[in-house]
Structures are given as structure tokens and as C-alpha cells.
């Protein structure tokens, strides 16, 4: 007997500001964590260049004076990991009920396989890193420097950065897929000297790639999102939810989602970042 696919409610693609993006993802996670047994999938872009810090990351890694000078937004993700510069990327959030005999690593592999299938539909021959060892444990470097098991790669270079938040009954995975080379600009906002930043930029450039470099051009973000959704459809039963208003209240969006120490995330969670 064929096992039925797990349902994922898909929300419309859109471009939103940093606080909205993180508030919505956290709210969807909370719905799942509170026992609704609902899964969600959304793809989005950012209305302004934004640095997102991992949940446990020290904001001292970024040069706040430069951030303010350039008008870059800063937000703290509910997921773990390290700093990412958004604005020239496609971001995804997947929220799935935990348990079902899956470990955090198995959930990560499952989601990565969906992304790989979607990238294949775009003509990108991506695959998964199969080694067991993380190739970087540096905590004061951006997300895209490190590579670990089940990472999404093309020719040995990283195609996406991701991080997880796991609770008692839910898993939230964030991912950033560079569309163009803009993600390399994260080094301009690192709190380090010029020489160190240039070395870091070289390291990231050697270890990563973007859709523009792989295809020679870049489809619209919505087209990339549609291809990736088809990858998820091979594993999940996608149910179109449409607008966000069905799943989130305005007061949730208005809650603080910046760097404030008082931001309250659900307790009793662990994180995985790659």
C-alpha cells in the first residue's frame, strides 16, 4: 500500500521586510509546535538589504556603524547559524511536524533533497555532500563559509546556506539560495580589518556559487521558487494556502523581531546550522 504524502501548506511568494519575514516564519513554527500538526512552505525575498543573524550569534560580529551608514536592516533569525546578507537571494522556510521517527539530520536531508530536485529542474546539476565532518567550525564567519553533511553542492561549491530550529513537535528550516553575487557583500559588514575581510571574501567566493554563475543568467525569483516548489511536490502533498492573512494576526507581525535581548523565542529548542 502506498504511503500518503505529508501535507505542506504553501503560502504565496512575495517580497517583505525583515521583521515581517521572521515574524511570519516564527508564527508558522509556533502553530506547528503547539500541536496543530500543520506543515508550511514559503519562498520570499527581502524589501531591503538585510543582515540576518543566527539566534545565538553575537551581534558583535557585524560593524554596526557601517550597517547604519548604508541603511541595511538587521534581524535575528529564530534559527541558528551565522550571519547572512539578504537582498540578492531567494529565501525559503519549511516548517514540518517533528517526530515520526526522523532525526534532525534526517529532516535536513529530506529538505535538501527537495531543494536539489528543484534546482535540477532549473538545469543545475546539484547534489548532496555525503561526508560526515563539518569543514569549518569557525563561529565568527558568515554562514556560507562552512560545509557539512547533506549540504547542497555543485562541483564541490555550496549552493545554499541553511539553519534549523527544532522543538518538541516541530522543525523550522531556513535556507538562502544566492541568485547573484550580492551575498558576497556580507564581508563588508563584518567587524574585522580590511585585509581580513578581503581574505574572507576570497574564501567565500571559492567555496560557494550562485544561480547566475551556474546558468549564465538568472530567472526571476518567483520562477526559481516555482521550480523549487516542484521539487518539494515530489516528496510532499502541497496545498496552496494563498495569502498570509489566513494564518497570522497583525499583532504577531507587529511584535519586535530585531536584535533586542528581550525577544522571546519558544524555549527548549536546539539548532543546527550549515
Catalytic: 143? yes
DSSP string for the chain: -PPPPEEEEEEPPEEE-HHHHHHHHHHHHHHIIIII---EEEEEEESS-EEEE-TT--GGGB-HHHHHHHT-EEEE-SS-S--EEESSEEEEEEEEE--TT--HHHHHHHHHHHHHHHHHHTT---EE---SS-S---SSS-GGG---TT-EEETTEE--EEEEEE-SSEEEEEEEEESSGGGGGGGGGBSS-HHHHHHHHHHHHHHB--HHHHHSS---HHHHHHHHHHHHHTTEEEEEEESGGGT--HHHHTS--SS-TT--PPSS-EEEE-
In the set 32, 114, 134, 143, the catalytic residue is 143
Q: Residue 123: is it exposed, middle or buried by C-beta count within 10 angstroms (0-12/13-18/19+)? A: exposed
Q: If you compute the radius of gyration of the chain from its CA atoms, what whole number of angstroms results?
A: 17
> Residues for the chain: how many in total?
274
Strands 236-242 and 6-11: parallel
**Residues with a known catalytic role:** 143
Amino acid at each position: 500500500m502506498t504511503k500518503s504524502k505529508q501535507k505542506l501548506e504553501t503560502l504565496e511568494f512575495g517580497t517583505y521586510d525583515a521583521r515581517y519575514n521572521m515574524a511570519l516564519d516564527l508564527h508558522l513554527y509556533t502553530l506547528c509546535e503547539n500541536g496543530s500538526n500543520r506543515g508550511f512552505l514559503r519562498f520570499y525575498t527581502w524589501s531591503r538589504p538585510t543582515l540576518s543573524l543566527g539566534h545565538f550569534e553575537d551581534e558583535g560580529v557585524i560593524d554596526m556603524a557601517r550597517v547604519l551608514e548604508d541603511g541595511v536592516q538587521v534581524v535575528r533569525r529564530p534559527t541558528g547559524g551565522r550571519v547572512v546578507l539578504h537582498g540578492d537571494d531567494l529565501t525559503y522556510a519549511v516548517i514540518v511536524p517533528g517526530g515520526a521517527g526522523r532525526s534532525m539530520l534526517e529532516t535536513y536531508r529530506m529538505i535538501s533533497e527537495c531543494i536539489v530536485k528543484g534546482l535540477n529542474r532549473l538545469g543545475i546539476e546539484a547534489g548532496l555532500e555525503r561526508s560526515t565532518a563539518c569543514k569549518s567550525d569557525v563561529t565568527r564567519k558568515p554562514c556560507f563559509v562552512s560545509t557539512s553533511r547533506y549540504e547542497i553542492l555543485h562541483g564541490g561549491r555550496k549552493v545554499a546556506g541553511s539553519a534549523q530550529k527544532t522543538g518538541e513537535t516541530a522543525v523550522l528550516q531556513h535556507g538562502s539560495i544566492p541568485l547573484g553575487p550580492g551575498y558576497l557583500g556580507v564581508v563588508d559588514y563584518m567587524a574585522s580589518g580590511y585585509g581580513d575581510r578581503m581574505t574572507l571574501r576570497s574564501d567565500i567566493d571559492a567555496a560557494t556559487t550562485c544561480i547566475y554563475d551556474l546558468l549564465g543568467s538568472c530567472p526571476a525569483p518567483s520562477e526559481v521558487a516555482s521550480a523549487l516548489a516542484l521539487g518539494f511536490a515530489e516528496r510532499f502533498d502541497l496545498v496552496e494556502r494563498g495569502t498570509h492573512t489566513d494564518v497570522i494576526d497583525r499583532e504577531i507581525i507587529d511584535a519586535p523581531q530585531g536584535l533586542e535581548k528581550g525577544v522571546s523565542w519558544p524555549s527548549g529548542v536546539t539548532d543546527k546550522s550549515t
